[in-house]
């Protein structure tokens, strides 16, 4: 199948009708696309590599498409912006099964529609045997808001999370432990216990997280002083806010345990492993933000849970603490990992 | 070397000072970057894959960096926009030599500086053994111009080219034929004949083309009715304008031979092979545009050469002709190739 034949199958899946009413001034098909903006554009890129960022025996093409869009949309949201468009660059072994590529395309298109940001272009390259890499670039619009950086947290602010903690990491640990998703063709119809249901939920979330991206602009409108997408774990990403802002993020262990460990994570992997995932599990794509006292918004999309406070740095400088101590766990390193 | 160690080496090479005076509102280091815009943003992406789009025995990391930026900047220019920023996603075997990665980074930084569009972010992923893929996304600003599409050519318009034709393809054919660049460490100081000098020029151009990107906005300001970046060859890309505009592009064989075949291409590879490259050589990244009669601009950056005219389509519909006939050569298919 030639590049143009394949593109002729793929491009209609992104749906020309989706450009109606969007900010797409020039849709795919020319040298470049053109998006309407309100004075600035938010840009970010994130890639997934077969065998590193997903395994074909765990994730479908559709899962990969959902996830690579989620990762990018979440970064846009963490600036306080709404997603407005995507570019997709795929480098694939020409022997890759067409059905898989079409399934990936459907996943990208579904996630793009959910986030309201059409796919406005892309690139298709042939890659060595077995290789599939999907690189997505996302665009966002601040709609007049100031961008919410990592560097604006001040002592006295409260720390809050929109979305879950530890779900993706716990789901990954189940896969890594050889667990088969309890909800599968083989088990359909069978009654699931609470632990099985929790495990299935977390494994599903690991395959295809759905970030609370609507909460980004809500937080910005509420006056969030800093915000980050939790992609490398709460401890590692929270420490980035601490370092950029020159503060200490003092997190409340009891709140984290009762609000995030209790429930599916504890049920599925137990308290010891679950606590590690709440603190350091990657690829969660929840939002971590700081707000002035009393400024945590009522968010119609996903509740913000207050998990700590911002305090002046002690003698050890900017850092993140949980229950007063620096946690021993860290988080993900995509390149070493 | 960890991801963060490597990024600590790479990011300073993009030079924070380069953000001063540019439209970069939020530089790299947060969840996403923010670029200033004037009401819209032009976006495009293009990738290079080791072993497919370059060979390490022909191209240095610096060459690859220059070329992948050139490909993207050229697409921005073909809309009539000025480049304003780049994102770079690299997926690389962790065993890739650090020197090569730094050389690639330097090439990207040099090309970005030349084009006036800072690198505002990126992504680094580990890839399977031997794999290196560089995906670049470029942004551009139309500065109030209407985007120049492929679809606006009308009968009576003239067809013109800014930049060379056939250089990259002829350079590639020399490499493919086993020719070693006559200018190399071994031959430095030796007198080069005209054919050797021409060969070296074309091989250099193939490794690291420098598109006439400044000519894109000049063409737009002059009222260009259509424009395209020549990445898949004159015949194939010209046929895209013909198809999108519903016209025939009638190119003048004598002008093409005298203005583009004569000179380095003929000297280096001869008239027969050279003519094929003028018509169908890919990766040239010159600009092909149509202008109303008398509208071809005086371009201070690179001259526009009139190579034909736009005529109403005949019974065979939209097409491109050279000397009245449809050429038998076509052009590049990146996926099949």
Q: How far is CA A23 from CA B81, B161, B292, in A?
A: 18, 32, 30
What is the rounded distance in angstroms from the CA atom of residue A193 to the CA atom of residue B240? 59
Contact status, residue A23 vs residue A85, Cβ threshold 8 Å: yes
Say if CB A284 and CB A165 are below 8 A apart: yes
Q: What is the ipTM of this complex?
A: 0.90
Q: Which of A42, A79, A125 sits opposite B47 (nearest CB)?
A: A125
pLDDT tens digits, one per residue of B182-192: 876 555 666 77
At B29-42, the pLDDT tens digits run 899 999 999 999 99
The helix or strand, by DSSP H or E, that contains position A136, with its residue range, turns out to be: strand A132-141
Q: Residue A330: what pLDDT?
A: 63
The pLDDT-based confidence of B224 (bands split at 50, 70, 90) is very high
Residue B162 has pLDDT above 90, yes or no: yes
- Which of these, A12, A61, A82, A36, lies nearest to A208 by C-alpha position? A61
User: Is B40 near chain A, with CB under 8 Å?
Assistant: yes
CB proximity A117 to B under 8 Å: no
Q: What is the pLDDT averaged over residues B79-96?
A: 96
Task: Give the whole-angstrom CA distance, residue B328 versus residue A246.
Answer: 66
CB neighbours of residue A262 within 10 Å: 14
Which residues in chain B have Cβ-Cβ distances shorter than 8 Å to A25?
40, 147
Q: Which has the minimum average pLDDT: A67-71, B12-16, B274-278, B315-319? A: B12-16
pLDDT at A336: 46
**Confidence (pLDDT) at A329:** 73
**Three-state SS at B143:** coil
pLDDT, position A188: 60
Residue of A nearest to B6 (CA): A335
Write down all domains in chain A, each with its CATH number in brackets. Answer: 3-141 (3.30.1330.10), 158-322 (3.90.650.10)
First to last CA, chain A: 35
- Chain B residues touching residue A91 (CB < 8 angstroms): 47, 49, 91, 133, 135
- The answer to whether B228 faces chain A, any CB pair under 8 Å, is yes
Residue pLDDT tens, chain A, 337 long: 777 888 888 888 887 667 777 789 998 889 999 999 999 999 999 999 999 999 999 999 999 999 999 999 999 999 999 999 999 999 999 999 999 999 999 999 999 999 999 999 999 999 999 999 999 999 999 999 999 999 999 999 999 999 999 999 999 999 999 998 887 655 566 677 889 989 999 999 999 999 999 999 999 999 999 999 999 999 999 999 999 999 999 999 999 999 999 999 999 999 999 999 999 999 999 999 999 999 999 988 889 999 999 999 999 999 999 999 999 876 555 554 3
Place of tokens 């459907």: A106
Q: For residue A212, which of A43, A66, A78 has the smallest C-alpha distance? A: A78
| Cβ of residue A8 closer than 8 Å to a chain B Cβ | no
CB contact under 8 A, B52 and A121: no
Nearest CB to B37 within list A41, A45, A79:
A41
Among A5, A10, A30, most B C-beta atoms within 10 A, so best to mutate, is A30
Percent of chain B exceeding pLDDT 90 equals: 83
Cα–Cα dist B106/B61, whole Å: 8
By Cβ distance, the residue of A39, A74, A94 closest to B335 is A94
Q: How far is CA B252 from the centre of its chain?
A: 23
pLDDT of B251 strictly over 60: yes
**Chain-wide mean pLDDT for chain B?**
93
pLDDT for position B188 = 60
- List the A119-126 sheet strands across, edge first: A119-126, A82-92, A132-141, A40-49, B33-36, B24-26
Closest by alpha carbon to A142, among B1, B31, B116? Answer: B31
pLDDT at B336: 46
Q: How confident is the model at residue A48, as a pLDDT?
A: 97
Closest C-alpha to A322, from A171, A215, A165, A206: A165
Whole-number pLDDT of residue A16: 64
Rounded to whole angstroms, the Cα distance separating B180 from B254 reads 32
A225: closest CA of chain B, how far (Å) = 14
In chain B, DSSP assigns E strands to: 24-26, 33-36, 40-49, 82-92, 119-126, 132-141, 158-162, 226-230, 248-251, 286-291, 304-311, 319-322
In this structure, the number of other CB atoms found within 10 A of the CB of residue A21 comes to: 8
Contact present, A169 and A283 (Cβ < 8 Å): yes
DSSP state of A12: G
Query: For residue A190, what pLDDT is reported?
Result: 67
How much is the pTM? 0.91
């Amino acid at each position: 199948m030639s590049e143009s034949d394949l593109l002729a199958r793929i491009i209609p899946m992104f749906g020309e009708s989706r450009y109606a009413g969007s900010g797409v001034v020039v849709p795919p098909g020319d040298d470049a696309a053109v998006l309407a903006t309100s004075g600035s554009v938010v840009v970010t890129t994130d890639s997934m590599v077969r065998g590193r960022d997903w395994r074909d025996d765990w994730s479908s093409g559709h899962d990969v498409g959902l996830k690579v869009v989620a990762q990018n949309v979440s970064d846009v949201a963490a600036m306080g912006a709404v997603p407005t468009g995507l570019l997709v660059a795929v480098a694939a072994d020409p022997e890759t099964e067409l059905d898989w590529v079409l399934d990936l395309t459907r996943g990208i298109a579904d996630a793009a529609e959910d986030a309201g940001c059409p796919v406005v272009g892309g690139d298709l390259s042939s890659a060595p045997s077995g290789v599939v890499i999907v690189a997505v670039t996302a665009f966002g619009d601040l709609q007049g808001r100031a961008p919410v950086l990592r560097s604006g947290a001040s002592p006295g602010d409260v720390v809050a999370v929109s979305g879950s903690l530890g779900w993706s990491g716990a789901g990954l640990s189940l896969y890594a432990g050889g667990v088969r998703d309890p909800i599968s063709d083989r088990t359909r119809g069978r009654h699931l216990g609470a632990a099985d249901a929790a495990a299935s939920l977390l494994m599903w979330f690991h395959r295809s997280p759905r970030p609370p991206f609507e909460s980004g602009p809500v937080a910005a409108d509420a006056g969030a002083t800093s915000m980050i997408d939790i992609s490398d774990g709460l401890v590692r990403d929270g420490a980035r806010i601490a370092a950029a802002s020159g503060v200490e993020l003092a997190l409340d262990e009891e709140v984290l345990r009762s609000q995030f460990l209790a429930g599916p994570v504890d049920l599925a992997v137990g308290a010891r492993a679950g606590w590690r995932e709440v603190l350091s599990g990657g690829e969660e794509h929840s939002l971590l933000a700081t707000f002035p006292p009393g400024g945590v918004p009522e968010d119609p999309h996903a509740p913000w849970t207050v998990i700590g406070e911002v305090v002046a740095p002690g003698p050890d400088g900017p850092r993140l603490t949980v229950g007063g101590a620096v946690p021993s766990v860290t988080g993900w390193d995509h390149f070493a990992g």
